Amino acid sequence: MNMDIAAVNALPYEDFVDILGNVVEKCPIITAAVWSGRPFLSLAALEAAISEFIDALPESEGILRCHPDLAGRDHQSGSLTRESHDEQAGSGMGALNSGEASRMARLNQEYKERFGFPFVICARMHDKENILRQLSARCQNERAVERARGIEEVKKICHLRLQSLVLTDSRL
């Protein structure tokens, strides 16, 4: 779907949330909250409103906990959101060999035990080798660093998901 910002602004509440509700993984409440900020002057203004809402959350780790493990249980059971499935498949997460899958599962578990939320990375910007390297390296970070990095990655994911739904101003 590629709507221009005028079409986005004209959407009734239910349609706005239905169409844009997963730009932040499993957090349609964020989209619902920014709907009242319409009309947005541009895609960048809509994205800024979402980003500001995320930054204003008193406990933003909740949005990190909504993300599935990469190549994890949800991937194996087929219960990923369509967006997550496509993003993980595009990065090669669906094509891990047994050694890579085992390493990914071990690192995902180590990461969650250390930080209390899943490892979040914008899979569309990386391949499986880079994701495994990043996951291994980021397990060594301090919790505050990882929390900030995870939020930054959520915003990258949101940016790309919004671009797949809404025409950027230069494409109008």
DSSP 18-48: HHHTTSSTT-HHHHHHHHTTPPPSSHHHHHH
Return the sign of the alpha-carbon dihedral for residues 21, 51, 54, 154.
Answer: positive
Query: Catalytic residue at 67?
Result: yes
Nearest 5°: the CA angle 144, 147, 152 is: 125
**67, 75, 85, 159: the active-site residue:** 67
- Name the residues annotated as catalytic: 67
